[in-house]
Amino acid sequence: MGKLIYSLNVSLDGYAATADGGLEWATVDEEIHGWFNDQTDALDGSIYGRRMYELMAGYWPTAEEDPAATDVERAFSRIWKATPKIVFSTSLGRVEHNARLVRGDVGTVLDQVRREFDGDLDVGGPDLAGQFVRRDLVDEFRLVIHPVVLGAGLPFWPALDAPLRLRHVETRRFESGVVAITYART
């Protein structure tokens, strides 16, 4: 069975988005985007909440045809479209782009999904990921830390009842000053 990975851009003070949901503070250059391409290409599938799915589905299905897109962005578009997606939502009626809609308990759904996919899965979006984190279902955390302090916003980490003990797996430094740090459960 593969790992469940929670990977996301995060500010130095621990936020995944500004208070109004903005992401413009994260500078994803060619080097960082290439790293994300490699990470995504290695997955068997992605698990999204509604907001993350809508954000991704709003651009990546057509990015390959965008004349302003870079080669690395076009490559990500191809990877994203080929990756199966499981979308948790109580408000969406349907999903597209190699995605299927699920409802229910995150643990129960994850058990079902893991029977279908042997390899690694990632969970995207701090709200949904928080449900997996609180249930101790995430195996690996990949924080892509940007050198910016937001002061407030949507936290990467959910509120926890007890400390979450992790061990360092890997650190990747990018030329831009961004650092990707991977931790696993102990």
> What is the DSSP secondary-structure string of 85-105?
EEEE-SS-S---SSEEEE-S-
Mean pLDDT of the chain: 96
Rg (C-alpha) for the chain, rounded Å, is 16
Which pLDDT tens digit goes with each residue over 79-130? 999 999 999 999 999 999 999 999 999 999 999 999 999 999 999 989 999 9
Q: Where are the domains positioned within the chain?
A: 4-12+23-177
* pTM as predicted: 0.95
Which pLDDT tens digit goes with each residue over 45-90? 999 999 999 999 999 999 999 999 999 999 999 999 999 999 999 9
Is the pLDDT score of 1 beyond 90? no
Q: Chain centroid to CA 69: how far?
A: 21
Residue type, 179: V
- Going by their DSSP bridges, the two strands 179-185 and 166-173 should be labelled as antiparallel
Q: Token pair of 99, please?
A: 């995605």
156: β partners: none
Pick the CATH number of 4-12+23-177 from 3.60.15.10, 3.40.430.10, 3.40.50.10800, 3.30.1280.10: 3.40.430.10
